[in-house]
Chain A
Amino acid sequence: MAKKKQILYPVVFMIALTAFFTFLLAFINNVTAGTIEEQQKLVIQRSVLYVFNIDTKDDADKTVQDIFKNRITSEAKNDTTIFTYKENGIIKGYAFQFTGKGLWGTITGHVAFDPSHQTMLGVNFTAHQETPGLGGRIDEETFKNQFRELEILSKQIVTLNKGTGGNVDAISGATLTSLAIRDIMNTEIPLILEFAKKEGFYEGN
């Protein structure tokens, strides 16, 4: 017991234990790093395929990776990644990542357009902090399906409530999240489209 009252012993003990756990964690981190990276990539791949309306919901991870590899090419320009969907050499659409302010935090997702930027092909949200059951319902198919094949008629891409002439219905009980989505669509998306046009990811007049 006398030994344990020394100053040196606790220090050595603490260092040894810290070294042991650090080594253990570094080892586990190293072993799983590849898998984690693959999982994070898969989230993006699934999301991009979803916005292009390629259904991969029930497909295994390997199939998703193959489909993505065969049909989608991605290019990074000024920190923005642009995904191009080609089928038999013909460009079917472009997808972009977007971020914007939600009610509780940042909303991140992907949005796809046809080559002439006339129609929105689809929207998906990869990360958000909206209230589960209320604003969180932006993840539901019924909400996201409203953006499929949505024609872009004016600068105001999204106007809420079909009953009063809008093109997308808000989520009842989640007015603020719905407004946030509308604002993201009307402010962030035109900027993305302008950028894409400048960089040549555009076919049309």
Chain B
Amino acid sequence: MKEIKNIFAQGVWKDNPIYRQILGICSALAVTNLLMNSLVMGIGLMFVTGLSSFTVSVLRHHTPKHIRMMIQTLIISAYVIILDIFLKAYLPEMSKALGPYVGLIITNCIIMGRCEAYAQHNPPHLAFFDGLTMGLGYTVVLLFIAFFRELLGFGTLFGIQILGESFTPWTLMIMPPGAFFMLAIVIWIAKNIFPVQEENKGGPVNG
């Protein structure tokens, strides 16, 4: 139980993939102009990361070490294709809105990062939970960024008009630069909340 709590805290908060590990930035920039897109992307990533970590962990004693990355890529891409097919069949609107970014989940560093760093050395149930919470950490940050981008860029939240007619939308927020600004602000806030401790260990001492 303690282990699970620890994984949860790491994934969502202390070692969040986006603002601590700076992974998965590309898609975080691309899909965060609407809350709904971010939510579906986040859930998709949780699904893929959780199941990929689980599968890698199940196979970990049988996988020859020197071809493990090929195998991880194979597993990850299989789950991404499943997700892509699912969206096309049952959520076609979402599939259209997310466009190529669903397929590009394959290249999201968070998934392979977790397979390499955690799933390889831990039992399947913990690996699955680790993947899921890392995905959750990603989702939370995406939603946070999308909240401000959608609200300021469209005046809406989940498509519902919040700010009145007189509000002038900040078009910049829904364009790519808006994502850069928001992400930088998130990372800046995170850096201030969690002062860097471990990074000084063993590294060169700054003069």
Contacts and interface: CB of A to CB of B under 8 A. Distances in A.
A and B interact physically: yes
A134 interface: yes
Interface of B is mostly: helix
Nearest to A37: B89
A134 B33 CA distance: 13
B132 to A, nearest CB: 21
Interface string B63-74: 111110011001
Contact of A43 (B63, B92, B171): B92
Nearest to A14: B67
A131 interface: yes
A36 B85 contact: yes
Interface residues of A, number: 25
Contact count band on B: 20 to 34
Contacts of A29: 85
Interface string B11-43: 000000000000000000000011000000000
A39 interface: yes
B88 A39 contact: yes
Contacts of A42: 92
A4 interface: yes
A4 B75 CA distance: 20
Interface string A159-191: 000000000000001000000000000000000
B44 interface: no
B113 interface: no
Interface of A is mostly: helix
B71 A134 contact: no
Contact of B78 (A10, A25, A35, A40): A25
Interface in A4-29: 4, 9-10, 13-14, 17-18, 21, 24-25, 28-29
Contacts of A40: 92
B81 A10 contact: no
B67 A133 contact: no
A88 interface: no
A18 B67 CA distance: 13
Contact of A21 (B34, B65, B67, B75): B75
B85 A24 contact: no
Given A35-B90, A36-B85, A133 B64 contact: no
B34 A10 contact: no
Nearest to A42: B92
Top-9 shortest CB links A-B: A21-B78, A10-B64, A35-B89, A32-B89, A133-B174, A39-B92, A4-B64, A10-B67, A36-B89
Given A14-B67, A14-B71, A127-B96, 16 more contacts: A4-B65, A9-B64, A13-B64, A18-B74, A24-B78, A25-B78, A25-B81, A28-B85, A35-B90, A36-B85, A39-B88, A39-B89, A40-B92, A43-B92, A132-B33, A134-B171
Interface of A: 4, 9-10, 13-14, 17-18, 21, 24-25, 28-29, 32, 35-36, 39-40, 42-43, 127, 131-134, 173
